[in-house]
Amino acid sequence: MSWGFRRAKVGDVAAAQEAYRRIIEHLGKTGDPSRWHEVGHPKPAQVAAWAEAGELYLALDGGQIAGVVVLNHEAIDAYATAAWAVGASASEALVVHALGVVPDYLGQGVARFLLDSTLDVARKAGCLAVRLDVYVENTPALRLYRRYGFTDLGCHTVDYGDIDLDQFHLFEYVL
């Protein structure tokens, strides 16, 4: 399959919100290892804010959104004390948030394509590493990142404030 990848535009917000809605709905029907359905993440206003900030990226199949990911340099508190392999400043570490695949595209390589594209964005920005966190019970995501080559730094206590989940694995991919 030949996918496209680009930064979302403000005109993409409604379609991106719908993509996340479909992902969350699917997770609610299939056990929700990420707990997105349970905690209502991400909210439509957050998706709009990510697009306006230029942080939301889309995997496209023609004009259809197949996957979504947020890329920025915003790291949660636990990142400051993690034993990262590379000492990167905030601007040198690209942080992955809210990566999701629209249900119609599951099993077609979209998640891997999003990760390939994320590494391209990071390299072009001169980053030294790509980092992310995964809820401890999200076995599919843990497996994805490990197989892709991210280093699992183990389980850390994370304070997201507005959600009642605090145990996350931290991952790093050194560029």
Mean pLDDT value across the chain = 92
Which segments within the chain are labelled E, that is strand? 4-7, 56-61, 64-72, 93-101, 129-135, 151-157, 167-174
The pLDDT of 100-125, averaged and rounded, is 98
* Secondary structure of residue 109 in the 3-state scheme: coil
Residue 55 backbone phi and psi in degrees, to 5: -105, -15
> pLDDT over 70 for what percent of the chain?
90
- Per-residue pLDDT band at 20 (split at 50, 70, 90): very high
- Per-residue pLDDT band at 137 (split at 50, 70, 90): confident
In this structure, which amino acid lies at residue 11?
A: G
Could you give the CA distance from residue 128 to residue 149 in angstroms, rounded to a whole number? 15
Topology of the domain comprising 4-174: Aminopeptidase (3.40.630)
- Hey, what's the torsion of the CAs at 129, 71, 81, 166, to 10 degrees? -140
- Per-residue pLDDT band at 1 (split at 50, 70, 90): low
Answer with the residue of higher pLDDT: 136 or 8: 8
Segments making up each domain of the chain, as ranges? 4-174
pTM for this entry:
0.93
